[in-house]
Amino acid sequence: MSESSSSAHPPLTFRRVAAALVQWFDSDHTPDGPEKMRQEPDKVDWMRCIPFIILHGGCLGVIWVGFSPFAAWCAVALYVVRMFAVTGIYHRYFSHKTYSTSRFGQFLLALWGATTVQRGALWWAYHHRHHHQHSDDPEDAHSPHVHGFWWSHIGWITSRRNFPTDYSKVKDLAKFPELVWLNRFDTVIPILFAIGTYVVGSLLAAYAPQLGTNGPQLLVWAFFISTTALFHGTSCINSMAHLMGKRRFNTTDDSRNSFILAIICLGEGWHNNHHRYQSSTRNGFYWWEIDITYYGLKAISWTGLIWGLKPVPQSIMEEAARADHHATIAAAERAAHSHPEYSSLKKVVPAAAAIAVATATAAQANLPKKAEGPAIHKDVSSLNHPDAKTPPSA
Ligand SMILES: [Zn+2]
Ligand SMILES: [Zn+2]
């Protein structure tokens, strides 16, 4: 930077640094207004990101605190419990409202979600709804096709323009002051959570020394390592789920279904399904599409804390069946053409392809029959009917 330009802008630089420091604790502090901030070009705000860098750097603490099986298992357990909060709460409740709860239940869910250290529920929901509106087009804040892999994975959350929450786009949530407070002071719960791991570790060192852990060790494993892994696991959906896997539905974006991502992210890997139909509580549309978040939400619904889990409509299941059928035919045709040197296959595969084509034609001609589908779909529809259960009093 030239001397003249630096002397021309010192107040701006100072104001930016000061604003970033305040934003560590008050994320709604935007001296020039959130709208102006959102208009800025994509650029990493290093000052604002220092807590995020500390989160990653804290993992190196393992060099000093060492390892114990107990601490490592705590890190795994808190990864799973909080990945469920990201997927089942921030995503399937706050972003898409795929089920209902009471106001108190909603507050409990927001508290649970805040332990994930992925900012407030309203910030998360606003950006996620924006992603669905602009998936893989230039407006999308985290498309690997528009901005490249690393920007979609981690870069976008370090950019100044993505820090503010646009409350006008999440009015259904912004009408609850308790949610707005948690969203504004989004470091409060993470700091309490981190202190909690340290306190529990210290108590265990004093009262259960056989576990071999202590305050600093549990802080590093259960907070820093677990939370960093949780961040990157979640980010895989922004980056990898638009690059890796199969596309069942011909959506306008490049979302994909991936078994591996579905395991890492407890069901969110069925991302192409989700982009096709966002309002259902389940992302895995069939029993073999493992969706641990959905099983968890279903179990919680038995307690009465949440209710009205939304099913996948029959029309979408029919569309899925047709898409799978066409994919099978295409695969058979490819196989018939790709290995002409195998004489036996030469006879069998084209015949199989011909049968498949004939079956597809017949299936299309008899769509209502297809609509009955496998029993699993009927189960879900009846279990999740919004009227199946009356809400408990708030
Ligand atoms: Zn997506
Ligand atoms: Zn979504």
Residue 381 within any structural domain of the chain: yes
How close is the Cα of 254 to the center of ligand 1, in Å? 8
How close is the Cα of 166 to the center of ligand 1, in Å? 20
Closest CA to 312 of 376, 254, 369: 376
Q: Is the pLDDT of residue 342 over 70?
A: no
How close is the Cα of 367 to the center of ligand 1, in Å? 30
Whether residues 271 and 198 fall in one domain = yes
Residue 394 within any structural domain of the chain: no
Q: Which of 307, 334, 363 is the last residue of a domain?
A: 307
Whether residues 208 and 263 fall in one domain = yes
Q: Which of 292, 307, 322 is the last residue of a domain?
A: 307
Angstrom distance (rounded) from CA 50 to CA 23: 11
Between 191 and 25, residue with greater pLDDT: 191
Q: Minimum-distance ligand to the CA of 124?
A: 2
Exposed/middle/buried for residue 170 (C-beta within 10 Å: 0-12, 13-18, 19+) = buried
Residue reference for tokens 């389940």? 282
Using a CB cutoff of 5 Å, list residues around ligand 1, an ion: 255
Q: Minimum-distance ligand to the CA of 91?
A: 2
Whether residues 224 and 88 fall in one domain = yes
How close is the Cα of 56 to the center of ligand 2, in Å? 26
Strands (E), 33-166: 100-101
How close is the Cα of 238 to the center of ligand 1, in Å? 6
How close is the Cα of 178 to the center of ligand 2, in Å? 23
Average per-residue pLDDT in the chain?
87
Q: Is the pLDDT of residue 12 over 70?
A: no
Whether residues 284 and 373 fall in one domain = no
N- to C-terminal Cα separation, the chain = 58
How close is the Cα of 154 to the center of ligand 1, in Å? 15
Whether residues 277 and 240 fall in one domain = yes
In this predicted structure, which of 8-17, 127-136, 263-272 has the lowest mean pLDDT? 8-17
* 7 C-beta neighbours (distance < 10 Å), count: 9
Q: Minimum-distance ligand to the CA of 129?
A: 2
Whether residues 19 and 98 fall in one domain = yes
Q: What is the domain extent for residue 322?
A: 314-388
Q: Would you place residue 334 in the very low, low, confident or very high pLDDT band (cuts 50, 70, 90)?
A: confident
Question: From its phi and psi, is residue 68 left (phi > 0), alpha (psi between -120 and 50) or beta?
Answer: beta
Whether residues 268 and 143 fall in one domain = yes
Residue 335 within any structural domain of the chain: yes
Whether residues 295 and 378 fall in one domain = no
Angstrom distance (rounded) from CA 121 to CA 260: 26
In this predicted structure, which of 136-140, 221-225, 319-323 has the lowest mean pLDDT? 136-140
Whether residues 222 and 82 fall in one domain = yes
Residue 393 within any structural domain of the chain: no
Q: Is the pLDDT of residue 389 over 50?
A: no
**pLDDT recorded at residue 377:** 38
Whether residues 273 and 343 fall in one domain = no
At 254, give phi and psi (nearest 5°).
Answer: -115, 35
**pLDDT recorded at residue 78:** 98
Q: Which of 307, 336, 364 is the last residue of a domain?
A: 307
Closest CA to 179 of 300, 171, 301, 92: 171
How close is the Cα of 282 to the center of ligand 1, in Å? 15
In this predicted structure, which of 184-193, 268-277, 369-378 has the lowest mean pLDDT? 369-378
Structural domains of the chain, count: 2
**pLDDT recorded at residue 369:** 41
Residue 130 within any structural domain of the chain: yes
How close is the Cα of 230 to the center of ligand 2, in Å? 18
Q: Minimum-distance ligand to the CA of 131?
A: 1
How close is the Cα of 132 to the center of ligand 2, in Å? 7
How close is the Cα of 214 to the center of ligand 1, in Å? 40
Whether residues 37 and 128 fall in one domain = yes
Q: Is the pLDDT of residue 391 over 70?
A: no
How close is the Cα of 129 to the center of ligand 2, in Å? 7
Whether pTM > 0.95 for this model: the answer is: no
Whether residues 341 and 233 fall in one domain = no
